[in-house]
Amino acid sequence: MTRHTKEKFIKYILFLVALVSVIVLGLIVFSLFREGVPLLQKIGLKDFLFGLEWYPTSDPPLFGIFPLILGSLIVTLIATMIAVPLGVLSAIYIAEIAPAALKEILKSIIELLAGLPSVVLGFFGMVVVAPWLQETFDLPTGLNIINASVLLAIMAIPTISSISEDSLYAVPREFKEASYALGATQYETIIRVILPSALSGVSTAIILGMSRAIGETMVVLMVAGGAAAIPESLFDSVRPMTASIAAEMGEAPYRSAHYQALFATGIVLFFLALAFNLIADYVSHKYKQVGSATL
Partner 1 sequence: MAETKDRSAKWRYLQQFFFFGIVRLSMLLIALALGGILLYIIINGIGAISWEFITKPPTNSMTKGGIMPALLGTVYLTLGAIAVGLPLGIISAIYLTEYARQGLVVRIIRIGINCLAGVPSVVFGLFGLGFFVVFLNFGSSILAGSLTLGFLILPTIIGASEEALKAVPQTFREASLALGVSKWQTTLRIVLPAALPGIMTGSILGIGRAAGETAPIMFTAAAFFTAKLPSSIFDEVMALPYHIYVLATAGTNIEQTRPLQYGTVLVLVALVLGIDLIAIVIRSRMRKRKRW
Within 216-255, which residues bind partner 1 (CB under 8 A)? 216-218, 221-222, 242, 245-246, 249-250, 254
Which range binds partner 1 by CB under 8 A, 52-60, 193-201, 208-216, 228-236? 208-216
CB of 187 or CB of 294, closer to partner 1: 187
Tell me the number of residues near partner 1 by CB under 8 A. Answer: 88
Stretch that binds partner 1, among 61-69, 170-178, 194-202, 213-221 (CB under 8 A): 213-221
Q: Which is nearer to partner 1, 43 or 83 (CB)?
A: 83
Among positions 128-167, residues that touch partner 1 (CB under 8 A) are 128, 154, 157, 161
Nearest distance in Å: CB 68, partner 1: 12
Residues from 85 through 104 that contact partner 1 (CB under 8 A):
85-86, 89-90, 92-94, 97-98, 104
CB of 233 to partner 1, least distance (A): 24
Q: Is 10 in the site for partner 1 (CB under 8 A)?
A: yes
C-beta of 27 vs 230, nearer to partner 1 = 27
Beta-bridge partner residues of 225: 238
Interface with partner 1 in residues 51-70 (CB under 8 A)? none
